[in-house]
Amino acid sequence: MKILIVGAGKVGITLAEFLSLEDHDITIVDNDERAIQRAGNTLDVMCIKGPGGSPSVLREAGAEEADLLLATTNMDEVNMLCALTAKRMGTRYTVARIRDVVYTEDLESLRRDLDIDAVINPEYSAALEISRLLRFPAAADVDTFFRGKVEMIGIMVQNGDHIVGVPLASLFEGRRAVLFSAAQRGDEVIIPDGAFIPQAGDKLYITGTPRELAAYLRELGRVLPRIQSVFLVGGGRIAHYLAKLLLPMGVRVTIVERDEAESRRISERLPEVLVLNGDGTDEELLFSEHFTNNDAFVSLTGRDEDNLVAALYARQQGLRKVIAKCSRENYAAIGRSAGLDSVVAPKLIVVERILRIVRGFQDKSGGVMAALYRIADFGAEAAEFILQEDTPNLGKPLKDLHIRKGFLVVALLHQERVVIPSGGTVFSAGDRVIVLSHGKGLQNFRDIFEEQER
């Protein structure tokens, strides 16, 4: 595919890195000479210097024949102009990053009026992910499928868990309510079979309905009371969106913001939130505000280092759920190795969304991709497909099919009923199916079968 990326910032460069790995024709446009040079020196992409909203620059970049334009600059207005101009020039599909709260409150009409095909908002997406983590405080990761009917959660195996040292085949005799979908052991990602034996320190990904997952967490002794109060450090866009999600759930929210003017703006926009002006990484301030009386702590400042240090300190002080925002993958890995389970990276959430769009373009025969998540530190993918009339192997029992190594069908939705698959499970047109893949970028549902069955 021919893909244009306008904006060589963190999000644009991250998208270019992942998309170039899948052999797409990538062109990056940016008005900053240093950003263009940096992209050209580190990536196998074409780079063009110039304002992304300029018709002549977009024409030079190939907008007239492009399959996809991603407008990811730091200015919402420029992104909207880029998308509108490129679409009128002939670009097949346009995506704009729109982040400002003023725009997002009326986003659907804005998208329709400007003929933008999709809008990405890394901060709102991050807030959604954090809200899911707060709903499952015992989980390190939570991904949602089938419009919330199925979730995949990541948990850390601890010494004393009854599953340690026991093969999965023995653990789940006669029970298919949840499925162990993947395991991360150190740097190794494993698609487990019945012989897999969990060990302390493993990170296990478990799939099931929210109700069954909650029951299984109780069985593991991981039940935590519902989160009723959250202490947020940093009052940026993520904090705003997160507070708007949590308040209707009856969660009390406190936000600490260093900038005095921004603190006043937050108070005006969110009168139900307790807003404190000060340094949320300062130990004296935290204790003066009794931050340990809260159920959860989320660090959302603009500095990864501050977020990780503050989150690790909150964990040390015994808060039940601690989450940190972190953009740098190497920093996130350091935080996890130090005992911080939940780290959220807004730009990687955007990558998942864009990869799903791109793969949906490439081949829709046999099944349409409806969701895509990278899990286990991007060592595996979980994709949701909607099966079509021409999907191979409809009506055949799963035990009679030859699934390629590295793929696992973890759940399906048949006539609005969630099914954890067994040997007798069959696929039907209209079913929604979740497939987990290890070491392979899954383009189409038919790719999970051996060659003779596709």
Residue 260: Cβ within 10 Å count: 9
330 in Cβ contact with 304 (< 8 Å): no
Q: What's the confidence (pLDDT) of residue 337?
A: 76
The CA distance from 212 to 205, in Å, is 14
- 408, 181 contact by CB (below 8 A): yes
DSSP string for 358-405 = HHHHH--TT-EEEEEEEETTTTEEEEEEE--TT-TTTTSBGGGS-BPT
Per-residue confidence band for 10, with pLDDT thresholds at 50, 70 and 90: confident
Alpha-carbon distance of 5 to 2, in angstroms, equals 10
pLDDT class of 432 with cuts at 50, 70, 90: very high
Sorting pLDDT into bands at 50, 70 and 90, what band is 351?
confident
Q: What is the mean pLDDT of residues 3-28?
A: 91
Average pLDDT, the chain: 89
CB 40 within 8 A of CB 31: no
Mean pLDDT for the stretch of residues 417-425: 91
- Per mean pLDDT, which range of 181-185, 347-351, 418-422, 432-436 is the poorest? 347-351
pLDDT at residue 136, rounded to an integer? 86
Check: CB of residue 39 under 8 Å from CB of residue 28.
yes
> Which tokens sit at 394?
């409809």
pLDDT of residue 205: 93
**Residues 29 and 4: beta-carbon distance below 8 Å:** yes
Average pLDDT for 162-176? 79
181: tokens are 């979908």
Task: Give the span between the Cα atoms of 311 and 322, in whole angstroms.
Answer: 6
CA distance 88 to 110: 16
Q: Rounded mean pLDDT of 231-239?
A: 95
Strand partners of residue 418? 413
- Residues 353 and 72: their CA atoms lie apart, in Å, by 13
pLDDT at 307 exceeding the cut of 60: yes
Structural contact between residues 354 and 15, judged by C-beta atoms closer than 8 angstroms: yes
Show Cβ contacts of residue 204 under 8 Å, excluding neighbours closer than 6 positions.
Answer: 154, 155, 156, 157, 180, 182, 183, 198
Report, as an integer, the average pLDDT of 248-256: 96
Flag the least confident range among 93-97, 214-218, 327-331, 380-384. 327-331
Least confident of 289-298, 303-312, 323-332, 372-381: 372-381
Distances in Å between the Cα of 223 and the Cα atoms of 121, 216, 218, 231, 347 are: 32, 9, 5, 21, 31
pLDDT tens-place string over residues 23-50? 899 999 999 999 999 999 999 899 999 9
**If you average pLDDT over residues 231-236, what whole number do you get?**
95
Give the model's pLDDT for residue 176.
Answer: 63
Using 50, 70 and 90 to split pLDDT, how confident is the model at 364? low
What are 265-300's pLDDT values in tens digits? 999 999 999 999 999 988 899 999 999 999 999 999
3-state secondary structure of 415: coil
On whether the CB atoms of residues 354 and 127 are closer than 8 A, the answer is: no
- What pLDDT, on the 0 to 100 scale, is given for residue 398? 92
Tens digit of each residue's pLDDT (9 = 90 or more) over 76-127: 999 999 999 999 999 999 999 998 888 877 888 888 888 899 998 989 999 9
Mean pLDDT, rounded, for 337-348 = 85
CA 200 to chain centre: 26
Q: Which of 235, 350, 361 is nearest to 300 (CA)?
A: 235
Strand, helix or coil for residue 355: helix
**Of 382, 409, 412, the residue nearest 150 (C-alpha):** 412
pLDDT, residue 106, reads: 80
